[in-house]
Amino acid sequence: MKQPRFGLASSPMKLKILTHAEQLSALDWAALQSGATDNPLRDPFCSRAFLAAAERVFASDPQLGWQARHLCLSDAEGMVAALLPMYIRTHSFGDFSRDWGWPDAWERSGLPYYPKLVSGMPFTPSPGPRLLVRSGLPREEWAPLLIAAAVAETEHLGASNWQCLFADEPDAKALTEAGLPMRRGVQFHWRNRDYRSFDNFLAGFTAEKRKKLKRERRAIAESGLQIETLHGDQISAELWQDIHRQYRNTFARYGNYPAFPLEFFLEVGAALGQQLVVFLARENDRIMASAICYRDSQALYGRHWGCDRVVPGLHFELCFYQGIEYCIAHDLQRFEPGAQGEHKLARGFEPVATWCGFWIADPRLRRAVNDFIRREDSAMQHYAVEASTHLPFRDA
């Protein structure tokens, strides 16, 4: 690949390294996010509120391995023009980079794999903006500068590689144009095709699939559980304690690590307000299950599930069906319930491509990774096509 360079000496632009999201003002951050979308409800995960709260968690638990090193560019007038969130990583837990086996390959070549640099949202495999450019500035000029700055910083730190993970379509295009190989992934997302109601959505299913899904929902409706939807600014500290307990205990039950403490949700819930959505199930006024989601003006994002008691079908109700109803009611175009999970296909979630870009410092390993990505891509395309044959729609 043609290696971009970032020459500050001959440029009026200035590069500043931010070691915490809060080192950039809320006003400047909002102006950068406006460049990614014109809507007031912007991507919640690359927001200052989400990243600042997460970074405080990492500061108190350095073993999580997310050391902020955000690249901030200012124009000739000294105004913040562009930002690339970036983290130094000493392991791959929580970034969903799928770089399994890569550290061993580096070691066999006599090179260390860590540290690496990651531009992605901590513990959040959700496609979204990564190359943030201030509203009104030409993205075609500033996005390549951010990419070149990331490459230069990778070389400066002696990191093995820079990973720009789960980039949205405009950023994936910019990364491709800069010469980075783009690695395809597959997630399952729900798409709103102007549905008027949940029944209208089900009308497109085959009769067998429609009956099965209705049976699942009917069992929950007849169970006596009360289903409730709350936003971040409607959730008390006491209720967050119950929700977080369920999140923490469910993670532990399956041998996973609950990265976010209670304090994170208290802070993010208050800061994001309507952009944090929780679906709850109550039994005799006692919270027994919850699903934590986020939203912007276009999509709902499912993140964390927790329960005190396993009830057949309740996971599907809170994590999928309530989210679909919410999207229809609020005119959201997509529902992204998280990574993986072929069981989502039977419930109308379609396979879509995700994109991650990689810049590898060592030329030998760069060629090897590029070749691996090319060979893997055909398999991923085949997987997506095969998955589509299992959709429940009559015209699938």
Give the pLDDT confidence of 301-325 residue by residue, as tens digits: 999 999 998 899 999 999 999 999 9
CA dist list (Å): 22 to 64, 119, 232, 355, 368: 19, 17, 21, 28, 38
- Mean pLDDT score, 102-125: 97
CA dist list (Å): 4 to 68, 179, 288, 374: 23, 9, 53, 21
pLDDT score at 2: 42
- Mean pLDDT score, 68-90: 96
Q: How many CB atoms lie within 10 A of CB 235?
A: 20
Q: Which two tokens stand for residue 387?
A: 């998955």
Give the pLDDT confidence of 159-211 residue by residue, as tens digits: 999 999 999 999 999 999 999 999 999 999 999 999 999 999 999 999 999 99
Peptide bond into 138 cis (omega under 30): no
Which parts of the chain are beta strand (E)?
14-18, 67-68, 70-74, 80-84, 87-89, 116-119, 132-133, 161-164, 182-191, 226-231, 276-283, 286-295, 299-307, 334-336, 350-360
pLDDT score at 3: 43
The answer, yes or no, to whether residue 4 has pLDDT greater than 70, is no
The answer, yes or no, to whether residue 7 has pLDDT greater than 70, is no
The reported pTM is 0.93
Q: Which two tokens stand for residue 301?
A: 């994002």
pLDDT score at 61: 81
Q: Name the pLDDT band for 11 (thresholds 50, 70, 90).
A: low
3-state secondary structure of 335: strand
Q: Name the pLDDT band for 396 (thresholds 50, 70, 90).
A: low
Give the pLDDT confidence of 319-362 residue by residue, as tens digits: 999 999 999 999 999 999 988 889 999 999 999 999 999 999 99
The answer, yes or no, to whether residue 104 has pLDDT greater than 50, is yes
The answer, yes or no, to whether residue 34 has pLDDT greater than 80, is no
Which residue did the predictor score with more confidence, 252 or 7?
A: 252
pLDDT score at 8: 46
User: Domain 193-332 belongs to what architecture?
Assistant: 3-Layer(aba) Sandwich (3.40)
Give the pLDDT confidence of 258-296 residue by residue, as tens digits: 999 999 999 999 999 999 999 999 999 899 999 999 999
**What percentage of residues in the chain have a pLDDT greater than 70?**
95
pLDDT score at 285: 87
3-state DSSP percent of the chain in helix, strand and coil, to 5: 40, 25, 35
User: Domain 14-186+352-388 belongs to what architecture?
Assistant: 3-Layer(aba) Sandwich (3.40)
- The answer to whether 14-186+352-388 and 193-332 have equal CATH topology is yes
Q: Name the pLDDT band for 132 (thresholds 50, 70, 90).
A: very high
Q: Please report, for the chain, the start and end positions of each structural domain, with discontinuous segments joined by +.
A: 14-186+352-388, 193-332
pLDDT score at 46: 95
